[in-house]
Amino acid sequence: MILNIFYLFLYFLFHPVHVSVSNVDYSEKNKSFDISIKIFVNDLEQIVNSKYNVKINLGKADENSNSLNLINQYITENYNIIINNKTKLKNKLIFKEKKIIEDSIWLYYEFKGVKKNIKTLTIKNSILTDLYKDQNNLLIINYLDFQKGYNLKYKDDSIKIDL
């Protein structure tokens, strides 16, 4: 029994959890979705380095001056919102700000031009699934009276929601 607990402890010690969290909150006042995405800094640095062959050193004195452009390029390639099956509304994410808190980075975006008559909302979140096959991207949607959470992952990275 003690040996099993020890092995379980070692498993979690040497096998990190790969997770991101995103919130999509409807702002009736601004007719937009406010989107926040939380990712571990080291994971984001690793994927940017892997995809674009650039070290960004987030939050450090030698942070790459192009880090924000590279991060936004990666996010817009891997995070999409489609309203009412209209793909022309895809990739309208507008970057607002970033905050590094301890070992995580919060990225804030806005998706403008959202009206109250949404029938379907499709969200694709493949952040870090190209790096980690066990990646879990937790998603929380708040639209008017609708609130629900989802878990998107490798090969199951999008959800179509009937509102």
Whose structure tokens read 């995103």? Answer: 22
How high is the pLDDT of residue 17? 79
Question: Tens of pLDDT along 115-145?
Answer: 888 999 999 999 999 999 999 999 999 999 9
Question: Tens of pLDDT along 69-102?
Answer: 999 999 999 999 999 988 655 558 899 999 999 8
Distance CA 134, CA 106 (A): 21
Give Dmax over CA atoms of the chain in angstroms.
Answer: 57
pTM of the model: 0.87
Q: Where are the domains of the chain?
A: 18-162
